[in-house]
Amino acid sequence: MKRVAVKVAYLGENFHGSQRQPESRGLRTVESEMLDKILLVDKVSPGQVDLRFASRTDAGVSALGNVVCFHTEFEDNDLLLRALNSVSDGVYYRAWAEVPEWFNPRMAAKRSYRYTCPSHRIDFERFAEAAKIFEGHHDFKRFAKVEEKYRNTVMAIDSVETRMGDGVIETDFVADYFLWNMIRRIMAAVMQVGRGTATVDDVLSKLDGDDGTFGLAKPGGLTLLDVSYGDVAFSHPIRCPYEKSIRQDTYRDALDSAFHGALRSYYFDRAWHDLPGREVEGGRSPLKGFLQRLDLGLP
């Protein structure tokens, strides 16, 4: 038996967080899914698995590169990944590294996250300016949920980078570690500045310790991109170990996209034509003008 660290990915909407919950609650988590499938394909006993996560993720938060350690009886680590991916439901096993017994996955060198939000009605320059404020050393007590009464909330964020995408804004964070709810609280503030309902000075005052918060951004926009270690090198199988799962999930995504596209087309491209009194002088419909102001991509 040996200990391995495995990089995993999962969509947060499919799980009630990463950590296992009491069985009485009946909640599906990343840990419960992984433990069930490890015991299904491996010869290791339940008491020997010792499943440990590098980063805990809340319900709705996704991951592309979380790290999970556990014991296995598999000699071939590529085969271990293929076996787990073949039975997995929502967790993708990407890469592996053999680690010593004392290895603690939480003692990572760096963690990187991305928050993605809609760009609609957001001033990108104000948004980016507010995001950049959080780079460097600060006391984040107004931007984190701190359970321990005396926990130190002074820390550093190495970098905060923003970019425009196709209808979205992506904000990347890199640091040694992050406090609980920290990025979601930061993003709530940044988005409010971008929308004009708060100012950069409002954000600076909270960083200086003034009372109050900006709330909590939705968990669905947050993704743990990667967890890295200075002395651990992960190996990736030559062939994609989750190719079949990706094909199935991509097909489901295509069905969802086609369904929503048809639904949108039915209402916005057809239904408005059937409304009485839709045409006015100049051939412009009040309804269509209203929808165009909502920036729904109508011609």
Work out the angle at residue 84's Cα, subtended by the Cα atoms of residues 64 and 76, and round it to the nearest 5 degrees: 105
Work out the angle at residue 293's Cα, subtended by the Cα atoms of residues 288 and 298, and round it to the nearest 5 degrees: 50
Interaxial angle between packed helices 124-132 and 182-195, expressed in degrees from 0 to 180 and rounded to the nearest 10: 140
Q: Which residue in this structure is represented by tokens 């319900």?
A: 59
Nearest to 63, CA basis, from 12, 22, 120, 20? 12
β-pairing verdict for 110-118 and 222-228:
antiparallel
E strand or H helix at 156:
strand 154-157
Residue type present at position 5? A
Residue 195 three-state SS: helix
Q: Which residues form the catalytic set?
A: 58
Handedness of CA 98, 100, 104, 107 (dihedral sign): negative
